[in-house]
Amino acid sequence: MTLRELHERARKTLDPVVYDYVAGGAGEERVLAANERAFDDYALLPRVLRGSAVRDTAVDLPGAPRTAPVFVAPTAFHRLVHPDGELATARAAAAEGAVLVTGTAATTAVREVVAAAREAAPDPAVWFQLYPHPRGEVTAALVRRAEDAGCTALVLTVDSPVFGRHARDLRNGFTDLPPGYAAENMRDLPGAPPGGLLDIPMSPEAGWAHLAELVRGTALPVLVKGVLHPDDARQAVEHGAAGIIVSNHGGRQSDAVPAAVDCLPALVDAVAGRVPVLLDGGVRRGSDVAVALALGARAVGLGRPVVWGLAAEGEAGVRRVLATLRDEYDHTLALCGGRRNADLTADMVVAKGGAR
């Protein structure tokens, strides 16, 4: 079954309001559409007579040595789409050797998520995503939870000073979690009520000091997610980021930003190899992975496709999504005459219709 078919099955399975929450974007959904369409505008110029029957696609990421080049981006509330929720996602990602980013908005506590990943693989990599919280003690408590659970990196999402305006959710009246679901990691934190969507505050006044404080307060590497401006990528590195995730939140925050992959080259230049640059948004095929890696991304994240796999088939569906992308990417690498990711270089990416 292709990713497209899994998406279709998920659409038929899900409550339309939940489907819209996952599928939707901000505003007129221009950025949502642009993320996927941008990949259509790139083509790959293969190199010939230099390939290998054995290919190595593993990458080193912070807190995740020798991992898959495709990771599970943080997406909220997995129990809304499948009763096994984040436990299924965790087992699937671990079994496929992919980093799982769980986070503040998970409907399963991080301790249980890491335990489930460990059932599926001896040394899984689970990262924990958080937002800059106005109260330092709340961030500190969340970080302790992630550390105690065994997470190997933190991800600070910085593209959400305020929550995006999701037109579908506003139309559907979906503005908080239904009864019976909670953001489990927010339970019993100092000064924070449990645990609905509205209890995960965004901080319009957060500054670079938040990042510096987070980095100071943990031994874990901290990646910064949601960077689009090259100067912000430089600032993030200067404030201690161990990695940059180029992302526009899957078109769910500003509806006026460029497609994520179109921002990638400038950020790769700005970071100049000091830390790995990752990307998410619109990745749907192995060739999209190849384009992003050729343009300098170390790895790419999948948001919605993982949720569609989970909704359609639980753990097996998430495994299928990750395995499909891995196989398609490996095949593309072979067709491009590559034996390792580094064999994909920026000169091999051209605008559709010809060489640039």
Ligand X SMILES: Cc1cc2nc3c(=O)[nH]c(=O)nc-3n(C[C@H](O)[C@H](O)[C@H](O)COP(=O)(O)O)c2cc1C
Tell me if 346 sits within 8 A of 294, measured CB to CB: yes
Least separation in angstroms between residue 249's CB and ligand 7N5 is 6
Least separation in angstroms between residue 160's CB and ligand X is 7
Which string of x and - marks every residue 22-61 that binds ligand 7N5 (by CB under 6 A)? ----------------------------------------
Tell me if 249 sits within 8 A of 226, measured CB to CB: yes
Chain-centre distance for alpha carbon 79? 18
Choose from ligand X, ligand 7N5, none: what does 197 bind? Cβ within 5-8 Å by kind: ligand 7N5
Which string of x and - marks every residue 188-217 that binds ligand 7N5 (by CB under 6 A)? ---------x--x-----------------
Q: What are phi and psi of 150, to 5 degrees?
A: 105, 20
Question: Is residue 106 at the binding interface for ligand 7N5, with CB under 6 A as the rule?
Answer: no
Least separation in angstroms between residue 142's CB and ligand 7N5 is 13
Q: Mark whether 133 is an active-site residue.
A: no
The structure tokens 């998970």 sit at 106
Question: Is residue 138 at the binding interface for ligand 7N5, with CB under 6 A as the rule?
Answer: no
Could you list the residues that contact ligand X (CB under 6 A)?
Answer: 22, 35, 73-76, 103, 105, 129, 157, 225, 247, 249-250, 252, 280-283, 302-304
Q: Which residues contact 250 (CB under 8 A, 6 or more apart)?
A: 25, 32, 35, 73, 280, 281, 282, 303, 304
Give per-residue burial for 262-290: e unless 16+ CB within 10 Å, then b.
bbbbbbbebbeeebbbbbbbbbbbbbbbb
Question: Is residue 92 at the binding interface for ligand 7N5, with CB under 6 A as the rule?
Answer: no
Least separation in angstroms between residue 52's CB and ligand X is 30
DSSP state of 128: E
Tell me if 151 sits within 8 A of 126, measured CB to CB: yes
What amino acid positions are annotated as catalytic residues? 249
Binding site for ligand 7N5 (CB under 6 A): 76, 105, 197, 200, 249, 252
